[in-house]
Amino acid sequence: MSQFTFDHEVTGTKGVFIARANETRAGQMTYSRMNEHAVIVDHTEVFDGFDGTGLGTQLVAHGVDWARANAQKIMPLCPFARALFERTPEYHDVWFR
């Protein structure tokens, strides 16, 4: 069971997945819309005090779940997200290449 809760906010062509521990913002993963079927993940960030919790991996997994549920593809330009996509074959179904 994750110690985090996740929210998804969209403003125009930008979006962010936000992770919280209780009411504290613990991290985020941001994206920009590429087209109606794909997004570009440009940044994944875990805030101070939450390093080593696996939160970055959980944020990417949350984004992948969202992509699958919404028939979206992800282009992971963020180095962390890209490395995770490269070593996780289960994510290749949503990888926009």
Tens digit of each residue's pLDDT (9 = 90 or more) over 7-49: 999 999 999 999 999 999 999 999 999 999 999 999 999 999 9
| pLDDT on residue 2 | 64
Domain at 67, CATH number = 3.40.630.30
Helix (H, G, I), strand (E, B) or coil at 70: coil
Mean pLDDT of the chain: 96
First CA to last CA distance, the chain: 32
pTM of the model: 0.94
State how many domains the chain has: 1
Residue range of the domain that includes 50? 5-94
Q: Which residue do the tokens 């490269």 mark?
A: 86
